[in-house]
Amino acid sequence: MLVKLVSWNVNGLRAVVKKPDWSWFDDCGAQIVALQETKAMPEQLPQEVASPPGWNSYWDSSTVKKGYSGVSVFSRLDPLNVTPELPEPRYQGEGRLLHLEYPDFHFFNGYFPNGGAEELDENGRHTGRFKRLAYKMGFLEEFLKLACACKQTKPVVICGDFNIAHAPIDLSRPGDNLKNTGFLPEERAWMDRLLEAGFVDTFRHVHGDIPEKYTWWSYKNRSRPKNVGWRLDYFFVSADLGASVRDAWIDSEVYGSDHCPVGLALEI
């Protein structure tokens, strides 16, 4: 069976569903749709959006701050189990993770933390320290432990906004961003460890080192028309699914958010 999965950081679902771009949902032809940064509780959305006919709908919304973070999954396949959040209580409450277990694979939809704003010293000078970097790295470590544990039981598929550009090819101006969160050495080293743990970056698996392929563009300075972007959104699979990958893509022509959707086709 060919399964099509798509993932999109919508940067506010209540706003996106009012735009023509939301036709993407009906047109994408996927069996599993994962959204990040929904910034909404399902009851804040029209019924046909929160629970569209023909879909199983699952939500993990932020409980610590309304209108913040949040992930959802819409599935035409029936999962065996659905679990929100990481097991570690320190990293719960922000609505950042949904874990669906299907008969043939584990599926994770994650909106991984941003490193936050840079801290300044008393004279307003840059310190190189970021307010949420420790939280981000802790979250990533706990997630890697969970993904590796699940990989021992059945194959794993991971998607979402990782808030990390892995390699210089994954952003348009790597030299200018070596000290910026999202491209810090420790963040990139964690992604190295994800690959070393037996996970495959499906876009690179299919397309190799094709340049100038990004999934996020700042709203500032006409970044998207100029393609000044970062690849922050990914599909990873455990290595035992590598041979099952039929396609992986970036839907850069889809607008409505500062991110664009990414997709994966798997033969299960």
Is residue 31 classed as helix, strand or coil in its secondary structure? coil
The 8 Å CB, 24+ separation contacts for 79-88 are: 79/107, 82/58, 84/58, 84/60, 85/60, 86/139, 86/142, 86/143, 86/146, 87/142, 87/146, 88/142
Q: Is 161 a catalytic residue?
A: yes
Q: Which of 60, 161, 233, 258 is catalytic?
A: 161
Please report the beta strands in the chain, taking only residues with DSSP state E, as ranges in sequence order.
2-9, 32-36, 56-60, 71-75, 81-84, 97-101, 106-111, 118-120, 126-130, 156-161, 199-201, 216-217, 229-230, 233-238, 245-250, 262-267
Nearest one of 165, 234, 246 to 203, comparing CA atoms: 234
Contacts of 147 (CB under 8 A, 6+ apart): 106, 108, 156, 158, 194, 197, 199
Active site positions, annotated: 161
